[in-house]
Structures are given as structure tokens and as C-alpha cells.
Amino acid sequence: MKYDHILVRYGELTLKTKNRKMFVNAIRKTMIRTLEGFDVKVKANRDRAYIELFDADPYEVMDALKHVTGILSVSPVVKMDRTEDAMKETALNFAGGFKGGSTFKIEVKRADKEFHLKTFDIQDMLGGLLLRNTENIEVDVRNPDYKVMVEVRLDGIYMYHDVIKCVGGLPAGTGGKALLMLSGGIDSPVAGFEIMKKGVELEAIHFHSPPYTSLQATEKVKRLVDIMSERTGVDIKLHIVPFTELQTTLYDKIPDNMSMTSTRRIMLRIAEKLAWKVDAEAIVNGENLGQVASQTLTSMHAINAVTNYPVLRPLLTLEKNDIVRMAKEYDTYETSIMPFEDCCTIFKPKAPKTKPALDKVLKFESNVDFESMIEKALENIEVYETDAKESENAFDALL
């Protein structure tokens, strides 16, 4: 038995009626991009998509689609001739993988109403066959463990039963654009993935302070962007902001216990200006309520006061171990935990305030001309455009 198609079920986009075409076009584009290099053909219809497999491994294709937003689930499908024998053989093959003590149901869709077997005939034929040829497996039409789907079409019969859950949500690019604050830790890439689920396109911002932060820390953030781009099939532009001058000024001019709050405020001011410039409608970060001193409600209030932009915090109330689990699922965990110096670790105050007083922070900041330094930092942004596939082949000629 050879799987020759992958059936792709859409997520929430099926709730859309008026803009359906735009949503389907978006998901088609992302699937084609994600499956670049696989020998397949993508056919996205109004209510589902079929991926025809020529010489591609079905499980590798399904794995590649797992993080494409807008896909609810996928199934490997066998297409066969419109004969009873072909249906029987495939049904028996499927049943070979059923667990003992489980239940099944045969479901039939006759797109070709002229087909000589009626729905009940097919159910009866295949259901009886499986009951006779298996032990300890029963029929349950209400709540079966396995649903064997038989679709009768003009060009053949399509059968499948395995349903693999994907990320769901909405197709990339249908939900506007946001700017992700990417530190290189565990949380921020997960926050990015969560927002992308809703079809939001991302650009990312990262602050570095050479020579106090290492090259590897910046490389790590680039790798994270590569992973996110590869998994979702959507390019992410990374803006690397030179922060050294601001960092050392903050260190010099702001009292140690308030420097953290001011640092975050400056970063958010830069993020807002960049978001405006790149047409992003929100800022996203990986903040988690109470996780560290800068993420208490009081700190968030003092930091957030610099902007009117919506700051989205998809991980706000999650447990840390859930975030770790998600990072592992998204494949960013191993990269995130690589130990390099970043701006958070070097200039870390000894005792940051968990309840910074906004009036005091404002007073100290007013003594310094941060605005001109912010403008200078923005002018000197280095842009990294991810192309995971290309960077892998950088050594192609040598290797």
C-alpha cells in the first residue's frame, strides 16, 4: 500500500465566508513554500487541499506541514481504482494498524452519484470484511476510535483513516503584521509562534551591545529566526539594533536598581519606532507575569508607559514548564538554551526593583538625552533576512 496524496484540512479559515478566496490563496502560497524541494504538487480548493505525492515520503511531507498555520490536520490518503477489490485490500491494510479492543466506523462520501455501489453497500461490504478478518475489534458508529473514510470520485476512490493534528489557526499573512522582540531566550520565539498561529506576519527586533555581548548570541538569534521561518514557511526579517551606547549610558546615568526598568523602556521606545516604520500594528514579546523583576505587573506598567502601541503578550499567564514544552515542540528549545552572553546578563543589576516607581524613573531619564541616541541606533540597524534553506547550502561548493 502506497500513500499517494496528503489531505489537508483547514482550521478557522473555514469560518470565513466572504474572504475565503484570500485565505485559501494565502495557505496555498505558504504550503508551496514550505514544501519546496519535495516532489509534490499542491492543489488547494475552497474547503480542503490535496497534496499529490510523486516521489516524496508522506511522513516527511506531513512533518513539514505541522507548523504551517491555518492547517488543522492532515491525513495520508490512498487513491485507487474504482473496484471493490481495491477498496477491500486497502481497508484490510488500514485495519492491520488498529489497536486491539478498539472500534471503527466506515464513512462514505459519494461525489459521483452514479457509482454503482450505494453508501450503505460500501459500508456493509467493508464493515463486514473487517469484522470477519479481525479479532477484538467492534463497530461503533457514534464514537469510533478509527474512522475509515471512503470518497468515491470520478477519477478514483480515495481512502484514509489516520488524522494527524497540526497547529491550526489562520493562514500566514491574513492577520496583519507585528514586531516580535526577540531576546534569544526560551520564551520570545514561542510567543512569536503563538502570534503567527493567528495569521499574523512577523518581523523581529533584537538588541546587541558589542563587545559586551558575543557574536554567538547574535548568531543564536539568527538561528532562531531561521527555525521559525523554516517551520512556518514564512520569511521573517530580523532587525539587529546596536545598543552599546545606550546600554553604557544607562549603566552610567541611571541608578543600579532602576536601570533595568529604564533599559526596557528604551528598548520598547525603539521597538515602537521601528514598528511604525515597517507598518507593524502591534509589538509582541515573551513576557510572563511575575517570571522576573521586569515582568511584574508594576514593572510592565512602568515599561509600557512609553508607548500607545498594543503590546501583545501571548505567554502572559502560562506555566514555565508549559512554555518549555512548547519551545521543544517548535524546535527552538535547544538553540535557546545555548549559553552565550547577551545584553540581559552583562549589565544585570544586583537588585532590580520589582515595584519600580514611575515618577522616579521619569526623573532620572529626564537628565539624559536618550532621544538622539535612539535615533542613531535606529539608523544603524543591521537587517538579517532569513533564508534557512540557502544558509544550509552556503558550503555547497566545498562539501
The contact set with other proteins (CB under 8 A) reads 214-216, 219, 392, 394-395, 398-399
Query: How many residues make up the chain in this entry?
Result: 399
Residue 354 to residue 68: CA distance in whole angstroms: 38
Minimum gap (Å) between residue 393 Cβ and other proteins: 9
The alpha-carbon radius of gyration of the chain (Å, integer) is 26
Nearer to other proteins, 215 or 305 (CB): 215
Tell me whether residue 295 is annotated as binding.
Answer: yes
Nearer to other proteins, 279 or 334 (CB): 334
Tell me whether residue 264 is annotated as binding.
Answer: yes
Residue 228 DSSP SS3: helix
Tell me whether residue 206 is annotated as binding.
Answer: yes
Residue 166 to residue 231: CA distance in whole angstroms: 12
Minimum gap (Å) between residue 387 Cβ and other proteins: 15
Q: Pseudo-torsion of CA 140, 144, 145, 147, nearest 10°?
A: 110
Nearer to other proteins, 162 or 219 (CB): 219
Minimum gap (Å) between residue 392 Cβ and other proteins: 7
Residue 81 to residue 107: CA distance in whole angstroms: 18
Compute the half-sphere exposure of residue 317: CA atoms within 13 Å on the CB side of its CA: 0
Any idea what DSSP says for residue 18? T
Residue 52 is inside which H or E element, if any? Answer: strand 48-53
Nearer to other proteins, 198 or 206 (CB): 206
Tell me whether residue 130 is annotated as binding.
Answer: no
Nearer to other proteins, 279 or 392 (CB): 392
List C-alpha distances in Å: 24 to 20, 124, 176, 233: 6, 36, 16, 15
Minimum gap (Å) between residue 398 Cβ and other proteins: 5
Nearer to other proteins, 5 or 223 (CB): 223
What is the grid cell recorded at 90?
486497502
- In terms of Cα–Cα distance, which of 76, 108, 107, 109 is closest to 7? 76
Nearer to other proteins, 216 or 354 (CB): 216
Minimum gap (Å) between residue 384 Cβ and other proteins: 15
Q: Please report the DSSP string for 156-215 in residue order.
A: EEEEE---EEEEESB-TTSS-EEEEE--SSSHHHHHHHHHHTBT-EEEEEEEE-TTTS-H
List C-alpha distances in Å: 364 to 115, 254, 293, 314: 81, 6, 19, 31
Residue 276 to residue 88: CA distance in whole angstroms: 60
Nearer to other proteins, 134 or 216 (CB): 216
Minimum gap (Å) between residue 214 Cβ and other proteins: 6
Residue 266 DSSP SS3: helix
Angle at 382 between CA 378 and CA 383, to 5 degrees: 110
Nearer to other proteins, 39 or 138 (CB): 39
List C-alpha distances in Å: 179 to 203, 297, 350: 5, 22, 30
Residue 228 to residue 160: CA distance in whole angstroms: 30
In the block, which residue shows the cell 521601528? 274
Minimum gap (Å) between residue 216 Cβ and other proteins: 7
Tell me whether residue 175 is annotated as binding.
Answer: no
Tell me whether residue 207 is annotated as binding.
Answer: yes
Known binding-site positions: 181-182, 206-207, 264, 286, 295
Residues that constitute the known binding site for ATP: 181-182, 206-207, 264, 286, 295
